[in-house]
Amino acid sequence: MADELFNVRSEFAARVSIALIKELLDDLLKDKIVNDGQSESILQDNSTRADKARDLIDTVRKKGDVASRVMITHLHRRDPELYSQLGLGCGQRAPPAAEPQTKQEWSTSLIPTTKEFWEKKQNDRDVYPVTKNNIKSRVALLITNVRFTDERLNRTGAEKDEENMEKLLKALGYDVMKCTNLTGKGIDEALIKFSKQEKLKETDSVLVVIMSHGKLGAVLGVNSKIKICDETTSTPDEFSIDNIYKHLGTDKCPALLNKPKVIIIQACRGGEHGSVLLCDGAKPCDVPQQGPSASAAEEDIEDDSLKFVHKEKDFISLLSCTPDTVSYRHPEHGSILIQYVVDVFNNCSHENDIEELFRKVMRRFEEFSAGSKRQMPTKERCTLTKRFYLFPGV
């Protein structure tokens, strides 16, 4: 990245405006890439616009690849045309073949989609339609359980997950309905309330994120009595994950017909506890066995195809781990899944569809381990019939 900035130094100096230099300095100050003294020096100690531009490039590139990537990201957002003219990359290039061990640097802010990419996809029949008006009506539901009645189940670090996901969702254009510390019934009621929002008629999609303790098929509410030792629950406080698909499906929520519904769940699905990293799990003995419903088996296929729309369609879900296993959370940085989701969405959502984004999140877990512990997210109940792009920044 530093080399990339150096390579465009002359062209940048010839094309950039004073106004853009000031905007970039404001961004870099906010990100603490430069300090007040460096910003003032760049603007005041150089007599010409070109010299200010060269000084800006030199100051940032000398701080390394991460700082250079941040500046390139802000340039992309502030002036996509200049970004394109300079021939700058999006930061997604694979490392050179001679250096397979190079660690990928991740942008901490969302890389915007180019106007050209968005316009190209508008004519693709295999892509879900997304207009600027649709984006203005986007809505998301964010539910985070942090504090539990049984304080031993408090999810230290989950506040960071909530902060990171809210920031990401808003950057993607979603109006966030945020709920914290809900019972199982409260989660259900929040989904129902969300499913009745007027904006759903105009939105192109919805995103639902639920973060709590969990077990196979359920997310636990804050009144759960699951114990960390070998005890069982006496009064279950649970939300059935299946209810998400019922409340947002065609029958209960026709406003979302043919629109992508993206579900992300950070919660264990059974299994053992972690050590340094914390486990969001319930005891395996509490896990109910689930199978296909009788009503689904008895569905009349002729009626289904001739008289009704699909009961469940256009969903995609990412669960934090495979069935019967645990997911991990750092007490300061938050859940591993949420950290990786934010990284991948920031860096790749400008050019990758949602299924590819989820695959890249899963790919990162190939390298994740905490001692002998492993975690692998899963894509489930995917009924998307087209590609869904988030088009950040359009």
Establish if 155 belongs to a structural domain: yes
Establish if 390 belongs to a structural domain: no
* Bridge partners, residue 140, by sequence: 176, 207
Q: How confident is the model at residue 343 (pLDDT cuts 50, 70, 90)?
A: very high
Pick the most confident of 28-32, 201-205, 362-366: 201-205
Same structural domain for residues 166 and 33? no
List the catalytic residue out of 90, 253, 268, 348: 268
Rounded to an integer, what distance in angstroms lies between the CA atom of residue 344 and that of residue 138?
20
pLDDT tens-digit map of 134-172: 999 999 999 999 999 988 888 988 999 999 999 999 999
The CATH code of the domain that includes 195 is 3.40.50.1460
Distances (CA, A) of 151 to 156, 226, 232: 11, 11, 16
Listed in sequence order, the DSSP H helices in the chain are 2-7, 9-15, 18-30, 36-44, 49-61, 65-78, 80-86, 115-122, 132-136, 158-171, 184-195, 242-248, 294-297, 301-306, 336-348, 354-364
Active site residue 268: yes
Picking from 240, 226, 233, 238, the residue whose alpha carbon sits closest to that of residue 151 is: 226
Distances (CA, A) of 37 to 13, 67, 93: 21, 17, 33
Q: At residue 281, does pLDDT exceed 90?
A: no
List the catalytic residue out of 74, 213, 247, 350: 213
Establish if 289 belongs to a structural domain: no
Of 86, 106, 138, the last residue of a domain is: 86
Q: What is the 3-state secondary structure (H, E, C) of 81-140?
A: HHHHHHCCCCCCCCCCCCCCCCCCCCCCCCCCCCHHHHHHHHCCCCECCCCHHHHHCCEE
Same structural domain for residues 14 and 134? no
Same structural domain for residues 27 and 65? yes
pLDDT tens-digit map of 13-29: 988 999 999 999 998 99
Pick the most confident of 9-23, 31-45, 85-99, 341-355: 341-355
At residue 68's C-alpha, the angle toward residues 62 and 70, to 5°, is 140
Same structural domain for residues 263 and 325? yes
At residue 162's C-alpha, the angle toward residues 195 and 390, to 5°, is 60
Same structural domain for residues 74 and 11? yes
Per the model's pLDDT, the better-predicted residue between 15 and 370 turns out to be 15
- The structural domain count of the chain equals 2
**What Rg do the C-alpha atoms of the chain give, in angstroms?**
23
pLDDT tens-digit map of 85-136: 787 643 333 333 333 344 556 788 899 999 899 999 988 999 999 999 999 9
Establish if 91 belongs to a structural domain: no
Same structural domain for residues 254 and 138? yes
Chain centre to alpha carbon of residue 195: 21
Establish if 146 belongs to a structural domain: yes
Establish if 308 belongs to a structural domain: yes
Same structural domain for residues 223 and 361? yes
Q: What is the reported pLDDT for 151? A: 87
Of 86, 102, 133, the last residue of a domain is: 86
The CATH code of the domain that includes 7 is 1.10.533.10
Q: What is the mean pLDDT of the chain?
A: 82
Distances (CA, A) of 52 to 29, 74, 321: 16, 17, 50
Same structural domain for residues 122 and 71? no
pTM of the complete model: 0.65
φ, ψ dihedrals at 240, nearest 5°: -75, 125
Same structural domain for residues 159 and 220? yes
Give the structural domain span for 60: 2-86
Same structural domain for residues 62 and 131? no
CB-based contacts of 70: which residues, under 8 Å, 6+ apart? 27, 28, 31, 33, 107, 108, 109
Establish if 269 belongs to a structural domain: yes
> Which amino acid is residue 92, in one-letter code?
Q
Same structural domain for residues 122 and 251? yes
Q: What is the 3-state secondary structure (H, E, C) of 197-243?
A: CHHHHCCCCEEEEEECCEECCEEECCCCCCCCCCCCCCCCCEEECHH
Establish if 92 belongs to a structural domain: no
Same structural domain for residues 58 and 135? no
Token digits of residue 46: 């150089």
